[in-house]
Structure formats: structure tokens, C-alpha cells
Amino acid sequence: MKHFRTLFAAAAAAVLLCGALFAGCAGGAAGTSDAELLVSDGTRVVVRANAGDGTQSLYSVLEAMQKENKLTFAGSESEYGYYITSVNGVEATDDHYWAVYTTLGTLDGTSYSDAQWGTWEYEGNTLASASYGVSGLPMIEGEYYALVWTAIAA
């Protein structure tokens, strides 16, 4: 019984330690970015970063735009980040989903998009399918970011 109490105390301490570490790192980034909403309708949302030091995510920019009533979006948190399921009232279905595209390629050895999964054109710019969700894409000056209503390939 004594050893079980020791085990329990050790496990509880480990849970608290892990929780504290995760909580400390889960807060939103405090960086800055200046983003412009270029298009927002039922099939696409296009954002361009006019300034950005890479510490703020596309998610936080979209959230700020939602607060200003420029667009609406919804989704769910997962281990891999925020997953968008609805934009401007248009919900993902069995046939269509909201794909994330960006012109941001490789930065500091990390690839943020892959054209193998598809590309999307916007005013002469080719955006590739993003390797991360909206919460994993950093806002970098001059880059385009898009949410596109996309058919699921059979």
C-alpha cells in the first residue's frame, strides 16, 4: 500500500508537471502581423500578410477578422492544430471540405506547403496545398493564404 501511495504521488506530480509545461506553451503567440482580407465569400477566403514576423498564426488573424465581422469560421481543435469545418456559414460535407492553400514554401528548414496535394491560382499567384492547418501557418510578409471550398477527389 505504501508503494502504491508512492507510485500515485509520483504519477500525480508528473501529471501536474506536464500540465504546467503544456499550459505554459499553449498560449497564443504575442507577435505582430498586418493582414489584409482580399476576398471573403462562400467558396473562398484570401488573406495577404502585409507585415509579419512569423510569430502569429493564420488562425489568430482569422479570429481577429471574425471579431471585426469581416468573416465567420468554425472548426475544432485536434492534436495537429485547429481544423476548419465551416467558413462564412458554408459547412464541410462528405463531398467538399475547406482546403488551406498558401504561397509560403520552405522557411528555416520547414516546408509549409506541398504542390503535390494541389495548387490554386489567385490573381497570378500559385498557392500550394498547406502542410499545416490554420493554427500552424505563420504570417510572413508578402505571402498569400487562402481557404478554398474544395471537392474531395474520388
Partner 1 sequence: MKGKGAAHAIATCAVMTALLIAVQYALGFVPGVELVTVFLLAFCYVFGAKYGVIVATAFSLLRCFVWGFYPNIIVLYLIYFNAFALLFGLLGGRERPVAVWVCPVLLALLAAGCMAGALIGIPVSVLYRARLSAMLWALFGVLAGLLALYIALWAVGGRRAGQGREAASLAALAALCTVCFTLLDDVLTPLFYGYSFDAAVAYFYAGFFAMLPQTICTVLSVLLLFYPLRKVFAQAAAGKRRGERVRRRARAARKRRGESENASSNDGRTQKDVV
What cell was used for 16? Answer: 501536474
Q: Any bridge partners for residue 20, and if so which?
A: none
Nearer Cβ to partner 1, position 108 or 121? 108
Exposure string for 96-122, b = 16+ CB within 10 A, e = fewer: ebbbbbbbbeeeeeeebbeeeeeebeb
Backbone angles phi, psi at 68, to 5 degrees: -90, 10
Establish if 16 lies at the interface with partner 1 (CB under 8 A). Answer: no
Question: In angstroms, what CA-CA distances link 132 with 20, 33, 111?
Answer: 25, 19, 9
From residue 112 to residue 151, the character string flagging contacts with partner 1 as x (rule: CB under 8 A) and all else as - is: x-x-xx-------------xx--xxxx-------------
Question: Considering only residues 49-88, where is the footprint of partner 1 by CB under 8 A?
Answer: 54-55, 57, 77-81
Q: How far is the CB of 4 from partner 1 (least distance, A)?
A: 8
Q: Which residues bind partner 1 (CB under 8 A)?
A: 1-4, 6-8, 10-11, 13-15, 17-18, 21-22, 24-26, 29, 54-55, 57, 77-81, 107-112, 114, 116-117, 131-132, 135-138
